[in-house]
Amino acid sequence: MSTDAAEPMLEVEDVVHNYGMVQALSHVSLLAAKGEFLTILGSSGSGKTTMLRVISGLERPSSVRRLRIGGEDVAHLPASRRNCTTVFQSYALFPHMSVVENVAYGLKIRRMNTRDALAEARRALAMVQLEAKADRRISQLSGGERQRVALARAVVTQPSVLLLDEPLGALDERLRQDMQIELMELQRSLGITFVYITHSQEEALTMSDRVVLMSQGKIVQSGGPLDLFDRPASRFAAGFMGYENILEGELIGREGDAGIVEFPGGVRIRGTLTSAGLAPGAKVALAIRAERIATAPTGAQEGLGARLISRVYRGKYTDVTVSTGAGALRLRIWHGAADETEEIQRVGWNTRDAVIFAAE
Ligand code: ADP
Ligand code: MG
């Protein structure tokens, strides 16, 4: 196995998978580097689990050009001979075994002797802060603790790639946030390549080195968390990443990645182009987050006249809707902010916060 960090640990090229008439994966390719935390993000049914099952060998794809783990072609190897392990949302633990026996199980079936297997298992339990509960029954653990056992059981075999299918999905919000941090720390300390599935953009942005956004069996966009958050390159990506305002107009000029969009009433707004190949005359959409819109724009910002339509008090902030020459805009005004109580006559934002992509 290569130790070169730039070398991909996981290579999937052009996988297609059909379940009968349903195309679950449509020419999907992805790479994960050694030690990388890669997240596959997408709504239910987008093909995430199918992708993991193809990588792990639980599903034989309809076709794939290349499937390698650690440089080795695994396309024709059974799941048991691929150097990867999957952690599922349903923990799939053995209820009649103790915690440490559950973790040691995978080592024993790999023919490690019992004493060494139990010692390794205790070390893995220490990594997930569970060594004190090693001798308990599974039924004596909370949901969060069971998920930790499942993690310890997965990492104890030292896979090259750990696949995680919505592992925190069954936990409540508070515990999920704590576990996100723990998982990240575990991944950094082990240096194992993680391929993590989630439908939660917040989870993806918190944990990942890189995010792959999927929709309907295809990869829509991939990049660092900030690329996806601040530079969505399509209407789908902007919507999925939570952009409240998406306005349609025509691109009338561009210079580098700066563009000018004209709206039906003649209003023009400057923004930043995120998709390649857009020429003046193209139908485009301009997207901006509610919280990036100010009600007292500075001279350096892009500004527009505005009239209040509605205000909804939400505790920590107020959601405001205004009408402008470019259309209705949603704003979020945080309580305690300088512009909180002012009457709204103008709104504005920094040009880089308004992103422009093809209208589709
Ligand atoms: P996700 O994990 O993103 O929710 P899946 O990979 O589970 O998505 O599913 C992708 C698509 O394939 C969906 O349309 C789903 O209904 C379909 N699908 C998944 N598993 C099967 C199966 N065993 N038989 C038939 N269709 C399936
Ligand atoms: Mg799934």
Nearest ligand to the C-alpha atom of residue 58: 1
Q: Which string of b and e fits 124-141 if b means at least 16 CB within 10 Å?
A: bbebbebbebbeeebeeb
- Domain co-membership, 317 together with 259: yes
**Ligand 1 pocket mutation pick from 49, 54, 164 by most atoms within 8 angstroms of CB:** 49
- Domain co-membership, 66 together with 189: yes
Q: Among the listed ranges 15-19, 58-62, 234-238, 315-319, which one has the minimum average pLDDT value? A: 315-319
Nearest ligand to the C-alpha atom of residue 51: 1
305 domain-assigned? yes
- Domain co-membership, 212 together with 281: no
Identify the domain boundary among 176, 195, 230: 230
Structure-token pair, residue 321: 């809707």
- Rounded-to-integer distance, Cα 330 and Cα 288, Å: 9
**CATH label of the domain that carries residue 290:** 2.40.50.100
> In ligand 1, which atom is closest to the CA atom of 25?
10
- At residue 112, the 3 state secondary structure works out as coil
- E strands, 188-242, are 193-198, 210-215, 218-223
Closest CA to 124 of 90, 97, 101: 101
- Domain co-membership, 198 together with 343: no
**CATH label of the domain that carries residue 17:** 3.40.50.300
Element (H, E) at 229: helix 225-230
55 domain-assigned? yes
Nearest ligand to the C-alpha atom of residue 214: 1
- Domain co-membership, 198 together with 278: no
112 domain-assigned? yes
- What is residue 50's DSSP assignment? H
Predicted local confidence at residue 194, as pLDDT: 97
- Domain co-membership, 29 together with 178: yes
Question: What are the tens digits of pLDDT across the range 165-174?
Answer: 999 988 888 8
Which of residues 106 and 152 earns the better pLDDT score?
A: 152
Closest CA to 28 of 44, 48, 45, 9: 48
Predicted local confidence at residue 55, as pLDDT: 98
Question: What are the tens digits of pLDDT across the range 301-315?
Answer: 888 999 999 999 998
165: CA distance to ligand 2 center in Å? 7
Q: Taking a C-beta distance cutoff of 8 angstroms, is the pair 33, 7 a contact?
A: yes
Beta bridge partners of 10: 32, 69
Q: Taking a C-beta distance cutoff of 8 angstroms, is the pair 187, 180 a contact?
A: no
- Domain co-membership, 226 together with 294: no
253 domain-assigned? yes
Residue nearest to atom 26 of ligand 1 (CA): 19
Which of residues 161 and 297 earns the better pLDDT score?
A: 161
Work out the end-to-end distance of the chain between its first and last CA atoms, rounded to an integer number of angstroms. 44
What backbone phi and psi angles, to 5 degrees, belong to 74?
-115, 5
Q: Is the pLDDT of residue 48 over 80?
A: yes
Model confidence at 235, pLDDT cuts 50, 70, 90, reads: very high
Task: Give me the number of domains the chain comprises.
Answer: 2
23 domain-assigned? yes
Identify the domain boundary among 198, 230, 262: 230
For residue 339, the enclosing domain spans: 244-358
Q: Average pLDDT in the 94-115 region?
A: 91
52: CA distance to ligand 2 center in Å? 9
- Rounded-to-integer distance, Cα 50 and Cα 160, Å: 20
- Domain co-membership, 172 together with 251: no
- What is residue 74's DSSP assignment? -
Predicted local confidence at residue 281, as pLDDT: 96
Predicted local confidence at residue 2, as pLDDT: 43
- Domain co-membership, 315 together with 177: no
Chain centroid offset of residue 136 CA: 34
Element (H, E) at 178: helix 173-190
pLDDT over 90 percentage in the chain: 80
- Domain co-membership, 63 together with 212: yes
Question: What are the tens digits of pLDDT across the range 172-226?
Answer: 888 889 889 989 999 999 999 999 999 999 999 999 999 999 999 999 999 999 9
54 domain-assigned? yes
86: CA distance to ligand 1 center in Å? 17
Structure-token pair, residue 90: 């349903």
Model confidence at 337, pLDDT cuts 50, 70, 90, reads: low
Q: Taking a C-beta distance cutoff of 8 angstroms, is the pair 223, 210 a contact?
A: yes
Q: Average pLDDT in the 327-340 region?
A: 82
3 domain-assigned? no
Question: What are the tens digits of pLDDT across the range 248-306?
Answer: 999 999 999 999 999 998 999 999 999 888 999 999 999 999 999 999 888 888 889 99
Identify the domain boundary among 173, 205, 230: 230
Average pLDDT, the chain: 93
How is 256-324 classified by DSSP, letter by letter? TTEEEEE-TTS-EEEEEE-STT--TT-EEEEEE-GGG-BSS--TTSEEEEEEEEEEEE-SSEEEEEEEE
Neighbours of ion ligand 2 (CB under 5 A): 49
- Domain co-membership, 164 together with 262: no
Ligand 1 neighbours by CB, cut-off 6 Å: 19, 22, 24, 42, 44-50
Q: Is the pLDDT of residue 342 over 80?
A: no
238 domain-assigned? no
> In ligand 1, which atom is closest to the CA atom of 20?
25
Alpha helices in 191-234 (DSSP H): 201-207, 225-230
Q: Taking a C-beta distance cutoff of 8 angstroms, is the pair 195, 25 a contact?
A: no
Predicted local confidence at residue 360, as pLDDT: 84
CA dist 22 → 3, 19, 184, 187 (Å): 39, 5, 34, 34
Nearest ligand to the C-alpha atom of residue 50: 1
- Strands 193-198 and 245-255 turn out to be unpaired
24: CA distance to ligand 1 center in Å? 6
Predicted local confidence at residue 6, as pLDDT: 65
Q: Is the pLDDT of residue 336 over 80?
A: no
pLDDT over 70 percentage in the chain: 97
- Domain co-membership, 210 together with 251: no
